[in-house]
Amino acid sequence: MTGSDGQVDLQGFLARERERTEAALDRALEDILPRIPGSLAAAVRHGVTSPGKRLRPILCVAAYRAVGGMGDAIYSLAVSLELIHAYSLMHDDLPCMDDAELRRGRPTTHRVEGEEATVVAGALLIPAAAWQAWEGGASMGLAEERRRLLVEELSRAAGGGGMVGGQFLDLLGEEKALTAAELDDLHGRKTGALLRASLRMGGIAGAATPGELAALDRYGEAIGLAFQIADDLLDATSSAQALGKNPSDAELGKSTYVTLFGLEEASRKARGLTEEAVAALRSAGLEAPELEALAWFVVERER
Ligand code: GRG
């Protein structure tokens, strides 16, 4: 979605991609919700449909298009990432984790639907996401071997070596001064793994060459870290009301890139990583103005 000047209309692009992603999420919910009791369905619906940025599916679709993928069936695969992300936020907000009241500008799922329903709703989204990736690949007409690779990417990114393991390191790190290497490891798993998988899954679905997939991987790794640094900067400089979420990192006693490096240096690091992400695409010959614009959005966003 580039204008005559070759520039991406980022707001228009994001709005259109969100709309398509949310339509695909609604279709996924039509499959999930009729199978479960009404009160549980309410918790799933609250967690999944609350107004997030939909960054992971949007990155997946953009990566797919960057390697020449065509058609709209990709959204059905891409929302598997959002189902995992939604569960992670629902569980992250629980009283035994961050005990948050506010998420995406709304009361958290457990505050509205109760703790029991939220734990179960989050848990059922994990196999639902794997199924969504498998079936999403089928709706794209992909061969079973490629669909297996997609489910593997998602499962590895969401699992103990990725997001869940990173969450545990995060809990262990509360009230401790972590080193830069420890922070990179923690966030590379907790936040970075799923972002990176978003790019890789789009690339795999679009039959990326090994060189293109390596570039998407490098882009994903760099923006994953940049995303977290931007998150820490926003957390340190913005209010819960403006961010639509609480509690803050300081309230949780967390080490962050801002506590470690200060605002200016952290901001410089985030921008450097964004430049690296863009350079990785270009060096592989990938013409991807949407991915380039998304990389800058990751560090320049306001929530
Ligand atoms: C409790 C079994 C069990 C497992 C824990 C909770 C969890 C698994 C993992 C949590 C990991 C986590 C919360 C990562 C989120 C990182 C993050 C910065 C989220 C915010 O992402 P955005 O800004 O959010 O893309 P929106 O709201 O826009 O979707």
Fold of 10-300: Farnesyl Diphosphate Synthase (1.10.600)
Nearest residue (CA) to ligand 1, atom 24: 52
Q: Which atom of ligand 1 is nearest to the CA of 231?
A: 18
C-alpha span between 105 and 94 (Å, rounded): 16
For helices 289-300 and 55-66, angle between their N-to-C axes, nearest 10 degrees: 160
Q: Which residues have CB under 6 Å of ligand 1? A: 52-53, 55, 85, 88-89, 91-92, 97, 104, 163-164, 167, 190-191, 231
C-alpha span between 148 and 188 (Å, rounded): 24
**25-82 residue pLDDT tens:** 999 999 999 999 999 999 999 999 999 999 999 999 999 999 999 999 999 999 999 9
- Kindly tell me if the per-residue pLDDT of 3 is higher than 80: no
Nearest residue (CA) to ligand 1, atom 27: 52
C-alpha span between 278 and 109 (Å, rounded): 36
For ligand 1, the distance from its centroid to the CA atom of residue 158, given in whole angstroms, is 10
By C-alpha distance, which of 132, 121, 40 is closest to 86? 121
**180-232 residue pLDDT tens:** 999 999 999 999 999 999 999 999 999 999 999 999 999 999 999 999 999 99
Q: pTM for the whole thing?
A: 0.97
C-alpha span between 131 and 297 (Å, rounded): 30
**104-122 residue pLDDT tens:** 999 999 999 999 999 999 9
